[in-house]
């Protein structure tokens, strides 16, 4: 699988899963646009991954802001000529609170980032892919899109909505050869889970981690690169007949 000359846009590129995805695609010759909230974090990610000049650009943007999403897609086309792959990966967890206590503004914010952020990405990338008669889009959903969990109403709602959006985009994109899929990771060993562990069990976050891991038949969290590997496959030509799919990557968690 080579991504030589292909143009890949990755949101949440300075975070756990996103950075590993940048690494996989850039190692295989892709030109990559790294998108995240904070320019400093993007510069740090690019330096850490030792990316070559001319092989990448960074754009600081909030995916919940339509104009900023339009801008990073336009900047990608200016720099590299097109968009072949879009990894809609940026997301936020919100807080762990019961529904009566959940701030309505925070509920909106989680949906703005996790759902509307993906909608904007689709909206501005799909016309470019349509011109190319093809492209691949991968959305990071979650096992939180496949069932409820008390305390995280906004996150659960957002990831369920994202699956509906993924399926609809797959149907709209199929006549033009645009494939759209979602990945649904179980807990991944990174910042977001540290935040959720502390939210579920402020007194003993480590105990929360143990109990989450115990609910996974393989007995552990995923590592960032394991999610990036699935995304890489779905983006590649090896996945040429795969669209509208919802891929759990969960150590067996949802097999029970
Ligand atoms: N960590 C997990 O256990 C887990 C499990 C299932 C799904 N996911 C999903 O994986 C995706 C990536 O998260 P992660 O696990 O790498 O966590 P992370 O917190 O390390 O990375 C998320 C990245 O998204 C960025 N981001 C947040 N809001 C943004 C915005 N408005 N605009 C642009 N960038 C923004 C953050 O700055 C961060 O770099 C998210 O969609 C998350 O919901 C994570």
DSSP state of 82: -
Q: Is the CB of 12 under 6 A from ligand 1?
A: yes
Domain membership flag for residue 1: no
Counting residues of the chain whose pLDDT is more than 90, the rounded percentage is 99
Alpha helix positions (H), 92-243: 104-111, 117-132, 153-173, 191-200, 205-214, 224-235
Categorize the per-residue pLDDT at 91 as very low, low, confident or very high, splitting at 50, 70 and 90. Answer: very high
Mean pLDDT of the chain: 98
DSSP state of 188: B
Expressed in angstroms, the distance from the first to the final Cα of the chain is 33
Domain membership flag for residue 177: yes
Ligand 1 atom at shortest distance from the alpha carbon of 17:
16
Ligand 1 atom at shortest distance from the alpha carbon of 65:
31
Q: Is the CB of 57 under 6 A from ligand 1?
A: no
Domain membership flag for residue 157: yes
* Nearest CA among 161, 163, 157 for reference residue 104: 157
List all residues 6 or more positions away from 79 whose beta carbon is below 8 Å from its beta carbon: 31, 33, 57
Q: Is the CB of 182 under 6 A from ligand 1?
A: no
CA of 219 to the centre of ligand 1 (A): 23
Domain membership flag for residue 173: yes
CATH of the domain at 169: 3.40.50.720
Active site residue 124: no
Task: Please write the tens of the pLDDT for every residue from 114-144.
Answer: 999 999 999 999 999 999 999 999 999 999 9
The domain of 120 spans: 7-255
* Mean pLDDT of the region 86-97: 98
The reported pLDDT for the residue numbered 1 is 62
Paired strand residues for 179: 136
Q: Give the count of domains, the chain.
A: 1
* Nearest CA among 59, 2, 52 for reference residue 25: 2
Domain membership flag for residue 123: yes
Task: Please write the tens of the pLDDT for every residue from 210-256.
Answer: 999 999 999 999 999 999 999 999 999 999 999 999 999 999 999 98
Task: Please write the tens of the pLDDT for every residue from 6-56.
Answer: 999 999 999 999 999 999 999 999 999 999 999 999 999 999 999 999 999
Domain membership flag for residue 112: yes
* Mean pLDDT of the region 95-124: 98
Which of the residues 56, 155, 232, 247 is marked catalytic? Answer: 155
Domain membership flag for residue 2: no
The answer to whether 67 touches 42, Cβ cutoff 8 Å, is no
Counting residues of the chain whose pLDDT is more than 70, the rounded percentage is 100
Instruction: List the structure tokens of 184.
Output: 């649904």
Q: What is the pTM of this model?
A: 0.98
* Nearest CA among 83, 72, 75 for reference residue 31: 83
Pocket test for ligand 1, best of 162, 192, 246 (most atoms within 8 A of CB): 192
Domain membership flag for residue 68: yes
């Amino acid at each position: 699988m080579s991504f030589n000359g292909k143009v890949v846009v990755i949101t949440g590129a300075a975070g756990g899963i996103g950075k590993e995805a940048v690494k996989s695609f850039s190692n295989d010759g892709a030109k990559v646009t790294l998108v995240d909230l904070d320019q400093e974090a993007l510069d740090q990610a690019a330096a850490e991954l030792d990316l070559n000049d001319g092989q990448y650009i960074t754009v600081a943007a909030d995916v919940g802001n339509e104009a900023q999403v339009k801008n990073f897609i336009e900047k990608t086309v200016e720099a590299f000529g097109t968009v072949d792959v879009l990894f809609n990966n940026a997301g936020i967890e919100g807080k762990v609170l019961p529904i009566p206590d959940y701030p309505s503004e925070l509920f909106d914010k989680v949906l703005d980032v996790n759902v509307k952020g993906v909608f904007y990405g689709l909206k501005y990338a799909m016309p470019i892919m349509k011109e190319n008669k093809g492209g691949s889009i991968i959305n990071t959903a979650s096992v939180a899109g496949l069932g409820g969990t008390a305390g995280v109403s906004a996150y659960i709602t957002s990831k369920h909505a994202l699956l509906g959006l993924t399926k609809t985009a797959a149907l709209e994109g199929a006549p033009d050869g645009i494939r759209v899929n979602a990945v649904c990771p179980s807990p991944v060993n990174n910042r977001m889970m540290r935040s959720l562990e502390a939210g579920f069990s402020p007194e003993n976050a480590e105990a929360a981690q143990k109990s989450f891991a115990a609910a996974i038949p393989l007995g552990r969290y995923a590592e960032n690169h394991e999610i990036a590997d699935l995304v890489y496959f779905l983006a590649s030509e090896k996945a040429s007949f795969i669209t509208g799919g919802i891929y759990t990557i969960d150590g067996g968690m949802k097999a029970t």
